[in-house]
Amino acid sequence: MANSDFTAVIELASSKVVGIAARKNDDGAIEILTHAQLDASQFIRRGIIYNIDKVAKALQTIITKMEEQLGCQIGKVYVSTGGQSLQSRLHVVTRDMDSEIIVDQSMVDALTDENLTLPLDNFDILDVIPMEYMVGNSLQVDPKGVICDHMQGNFLNIIARETIRKRIEQGFEKAKIEIGRIFISPLITASSVLHESEIRAGCALIDCGADTTTITIYKNRILRFLAVLPLGSANITRDIATCLKIEEDEAEYLKLTYGDVLYEDAEDAQPATFILNDNTQHVENRKLNNIINARASEIIDNIWNLIITSKYADQLYAGIVITGGGANLKNLDNLIRRKSKIDKMRIAKKTLYSILPLDGFPEANGMYNTVCGLLFEGKEDSLKIIPVAPEPEPEPAEEEPIVTVDEEQLQREAEEAARKAREEEEERKRREAEERQRKAEEERLRREEEERKRKEEEERKRKEEEERLKKEEEERLRLEEEERTRREASFLNRFKTALNNFLGDDNNEVQ
């Protein structure tokens, strides 16, 4: 049975590529219609695509499976992406006015446009989070209407290497799949698992993935920090496989079955052991968990260092939220609690949204929070509409034969019209962006000219001040010389007088 009015999404993660199609019911719940998943280790590493052909083939396979279950074609999908290079970068833009004026939207837009001129070598700005504005001496979330003569905009730019978006677009283009929009995975995850109170009070979200661990920090409903650590739960698995000389699949099983980052043998008891699959080796639980604890501790130490770097470590009043597949490791939350000294801690194994799963859909274990959250972001229907020509009315047999309409031609014409409409919209957006950049450049040049004139005026005043001080110094030296000369003359006069008096007294004694 064919479905309509659905949203299709795809998450490109380091360990898997997941596709889901779902519809939103009248009560707001999301009903999953179909899903498909493939291993991504052969073409994605740390969130970055490195084999376009393989990712295109995987995407085609996932879309084909989903279309077979839906009974219709998927026109476009919404995509989420992360990656090791994803990070936040704070940029401050200031503006000084000649006199006090009322801040309007155009001034806010000018600051926003100037922020986009931030030079970033080989990086793209994927999103911009406006933080508070310093208007005069006060912080404002919305500065419009405030009177001031100085304004400062604080912008948190979410950036990543330009190859991330480019390779996603190349992979989908090769697979002949239209992208509705590319979303940033950590932001989607946060919106799907964090409560409003946590975002307001201040919390850190730790998404424990396979190859990466992502840290996002919120405070006063605003994203304050984002960083990606190039270490994840797969590093623990590889450590186990290397130390025990076993395959990674078996190492993953041992980690999930016997793993405990705070494992301790019971007192006065024989060490617990288990047997490997080949039945040739007995391994103590303590040895396995020492391997796990060593790598987990390293990851958590790096996470905590990043949180300290954000300067919000002492403002996480709502504590820490852990999610992702790596969060299923036993006692991981308690190890983070012990190292961070933060007591408030919870593990988010499912989204805040109401999800009606399909039979066979994986259980809530934190691994699908991002792709499920992505379902709520797609605003347009993903159904591919194929235009169908109306059937011609029957004509008398003696008249000319009925001319049938070429449905494929109509479809090509509709697709061509849609393509031209997209190109025109992209061209319009490009021109608007160029116009904003031109205005921002003109504003930058104007400010540079004002700055140059200001410096010239300061230099002129400095030279005048130096000349005045020089003249004052010369006048002071001249007066000192006159005073010295006067004192010398006065001294000579007194000396002569005293000498004359002395000589006069001697002459009187002789007489």
Instruction: Give dist(CA 126, CA 212) in Å, integer.
Output: 19
Instruction: Give dist(CA 466, CA 460) in Å, integer.
Output: 10
Name the residue among 57, 76, 2 with its Cα closest to residue 33. Answer: 2
DSSP annotation string for 398-448: TSPPP----HHHHHHHHHHHHHHHHHHHHHHHHHHHHHHHHHHHHHHHHHH
pLDDT digits (tens, 9 = 90+) for 113-148: 999 988 888 899 999 999 889 998 888 889 999 999
Taking the model in full, what pTM does it have? 0.72
397 pLDDT exceeds 60? no
Token pair listed for 176: 């002949």
- The sign of the torsion formed by the CA atoms of 384, 389, 390, 391 equals negative
Name the residue among 190, 173, 155, 182 with its Cα closest to residue 47. Answer: 182
**Contact between 347 and 260 (Cβ < 8 Å):** no
Residue type, 441: E
What's the mean pLDDT in 194-221? Answer: 95
pLDDT at 436: 80
| Residue located via tokens 């932001």 | 187
pLDDT digits (tens, 9 = 90+) for 372-391: 888 888 776 666 645 444 45
More confident residue, 430 or 381: 430
**Contact between 55 and 43 (Cβ < 8 Å):** yes
Could you give the angle at the alpha carbon of 107 between the alpha carbons of 105 and 112, nearest 5°? 95
Residue 263 has, within 13 A of its CA and on its CB side, a CA count of: 24
pLDDT digits (tens, 9 = 90+) for 451-509: 888 888 888 888 988 888 899 888 889 998 888 888 888 888 888 888 888 887 655 55
Residue 372 has, within 13 A of its CA and on its CB side, a CA count of: 27
**Contact between 80 and 9 (Cβ < 8 Å):** yes
83-97 burial, b at 16+ Cβ within 10 Å, e below that, comes to bbbbbbeebebebee
510 pLDDT exceeds 80? no
Instruction: Give dist(CA 19, CA 59) in Å, integer.
Output: 9
DSSP code of 380? S
What's the mean pLDDT in 230-259? Answer: 92
Token pair listed for 260: 């405990």
pLDDT at 302: 96
Name the residue among 226, 230, 225 with its Cα closest to residue 213. Answer: 230
**Contact between 204 and 213 (Cβ < 8 Å):** no
pLDDT at 388: 43
Q: State residue 96 phi and psi, 5-degree precision.
A: -110, 130
- Rounded to the nearest 10 degrees, the angle between the axes of helix 332-340 and helix 285-309 is 50
More confident residue, 77 or 413: 77
pLDDT digits (tens, 9 = 90+) for 156-180: 999 999 889 999 999 999 999 999 9
pLDDT band (50, 70, 90) for residue 404: very low
pLDDT digits (tens, 9 = 90+) for 95-106: 888 888 999 999
pLDDT digits (tens, 9 = 90+) for 268-321: 566 777 787 666 778 888 999 999 999 999 999 999 999 999 999 999 999 999
Token pair listed for 203: 């919390």
pLDDT at 66: 92
Find the helix or strand (DSSP H, E) in which 157 lies.
Answer: strand 147-161
Find the helix or strand (DSSP H, E) in which 203 lies.
Answer: strand 203-208
* Burial grade of 244 (CB within 10 A; 0-12, 13-18, 19 or more): middle
pLDDT at 268: 58
pLDDT at 314: 95
pLDDT digits (tens, 9 = 90+) for 39-55: 888 888 888 898 999 99
pLDDT band (50, 70, 90) for residue 394: low
Specify the CATH class of 195-347 in words: alpha beta
What's the mean pLDDT in 439-457? Answer: 85
More confident residue, 312 or 443: 312
pLDDT band (50, 70, 90) for residue 4: low
| Residue located via tokens 């155009």 | 106
CATH fold label, 87-158: Dna Ligase; domain 1 (3.30.1490)
Instruction: Give dist(CA 40, CA 14) in Å, integer.
Output: 6
Flag the least confident range among 196-205, 318-327, 338-347, 455-464. Answer: 455-464
Instruction: Give dist(CA 447, CA 11) in Å, integer.
Output: 44
pLDDT at 114: 92
What's the mean pLDDT in 78-91? Answer: 90
What's the mean pLDDT in 190-203? Answer: 95
What's the mean pLDDT in 230-251? Answer: 92
25 pLDDT exceeds 70? yes
**What value does the mean pLDDT of the chain take?**
86
Token pair listed for 167: 């390779």
Share of the chain above pLDDT 90, in %: 45
pLDDT at 507: 58
pLDDT at 411: 61
**β partners of residue 183:** 80
Could you give the angle at the alpha carbon of 108 between the alpha carbons of 105 and 111, nearest 5°? 150
Instruction: Give dist(CA 116, CA 436) in Å, integer.
Output: 9
pLDDT at 202: 96
